[in-house]
């Protein structure tokens, strides 16, 4: 089997991911609000030498932040897909393969995959919405494997351990070859990233990082 190399996120996560995102797998970064998920999506987008498809479901893509992190030159090669409802998100994911066939894409980011899903669950059919979530994952999984385009999805977790959370976690765990958990710490702006699932890295490998003006920086010299 051919060695594909990795796409660096240009964050300390690269250290615990042996270089970055696998090109034939979904990487799922999850954690509470403010843990750094969007920052990682922005940094990986800036680091990608080719075009990036960026699906923003919560309006959290900030031009100002993107520029702060050195993204000015990269802006022209971001294909930004804003979605506002679960239905829009579903349709957008369903047509991704068509875009990928036409354009030379080096990364797909979905930030986040589940916030509209959660809103939809409140109002609509539980089973159908879960099926749609699994379908979106399966489409992303097919694209990453067929086109060798890394897929980075973020997943906000909530403290309430309810059934909704368990179901979406099960679906996420099934489809994501890599799971990275982000945790906040007592120190302002410091976070910890922990590998929770990976094809070639031990579970539990972790690193501490700081969110700074320019981007994410490792705290200390060694991985924890
Ligand atoms: N210029 C900056 N300098 C330092 N920290 C920043 C800067 N911009 C954003 N942050 C921090 O990033 C955090 C939000 O990260 P974000 O990636 O949006 O989290 P998430 O997507 O997990 O909710 C906030 O704690 C915020 O203080
Ligand atoms: Mg975010």
> How high is the pLDDT of residue 161?
55
Residue 50: CB atoms within 10 A of its CB come to 12
> How high is the pLDDT of residue 165?
78
Give the CA angle between residues 38, 28, 113 to the nearest 5°. 65
- Relative to the alpha carbon of 30, which ligand is closest? 1
Three-state secondary structure call for residue 175: helix
The arithmetic mean of pLDDT across residues 18-32, rounded, is: 97
User: pLDDT (tens digit, 9 = 90+) per residue, 174-221?
Assistant: 999 999 999 999 999 999 999 999 999 999 999 999 999 999 999 976
DSSP code of residue 125: -
- Relative to the alpha carbon of 64, which ligand is closest? 1
The arithmetic mean of pLDDT across residues 6-21, rounded, is: 98
The arithmetic mean of pLDDT across residues 89-99, rounded, is: 98
Q: Please, are residues 113 and 136 in contact by the beta-carbon 8 Å criterion?
A: yes
State how far Cα 132 lies from the chain centre: 18
The tokens for 222 are 């060694």
CA separation for the pair 195, 212 (Å, rounded): 22
Substitution candidate for ligand 1 out of 109, 187, 189, 192 with most atoms within 8 A of CB: 189
Fold (topology level) of 6-218: Rossmann fold (3.40.50)
Does 81 have pLDDT greater than 90? yes
Does 223 have pLDDT greater than 90? no
Average pLDDT over all residues of the chain = 94
196 contacts: CB under 8 Å, gap ≥ 6: 179, 180, 181, 203
| Strand positions, DSSP E, 95-157 | 105-111, 151-156
> How high is the pLDDT of residue 162?
67
Which residues face 178 on adjacent strands? 27
User: pLDDT (tens digit, 9 = 90+) per residue, 115-168?
Assistant: 999 989 877 688 999 999 999 999 999 999 999 999 999 999 876 656 777 889
> How high is the pLDDT of residue 224?
59
Q: Whose CA is nearest to atom 3 of ligand 1?
A: 213
The tokens for 64 are 């100002």
């Amino acid at each position: 089997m051919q060695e594909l190399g990795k796409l660096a996120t240009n964050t300390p996560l690269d250290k615990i991911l042996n270089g970055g995102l696998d090109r034939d797998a979904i990487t799922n970064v999850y954690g509470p609000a403010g843990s750094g998920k969007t920052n990682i999506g922005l940094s990986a987008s800036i680091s990608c030498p080719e075009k990036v498809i960026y699906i923003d479901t919560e309006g959290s893509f900030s031009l100002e932040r993107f520029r702060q992190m050195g993204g000015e030159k990269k802006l022209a090669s971001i294909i930004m897909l804003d979605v506002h409802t679960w239905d829009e998100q579903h349709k957008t994911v369903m047509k991704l393969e068509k875009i990928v066939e036409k354009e030379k894409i080096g990364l797909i980011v979905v930030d986040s995959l589940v916030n509209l899903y959660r809103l939809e669950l409140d109002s609509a059919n539980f089973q159908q919405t879960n099926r749609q979530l699994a379908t979106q994952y399966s489409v992303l999984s097919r694209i990453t494997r067929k086109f060798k385009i890394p897929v980075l999805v973020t997943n906000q977790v909530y403290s309430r351990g309810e059934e909704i959370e368990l179901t979406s976690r099960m679906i996420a765990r099934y489809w994501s070859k890599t799971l990275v958990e982000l945790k906040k710490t007592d120190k302002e702006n410091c976070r910890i990233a922990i590998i929770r699932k990976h094809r070639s890295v031990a579970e539990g490998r972790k690193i501490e990082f700081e969110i700074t003006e320019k981007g994410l920086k490792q705290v200390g010299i060694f991985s924890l």
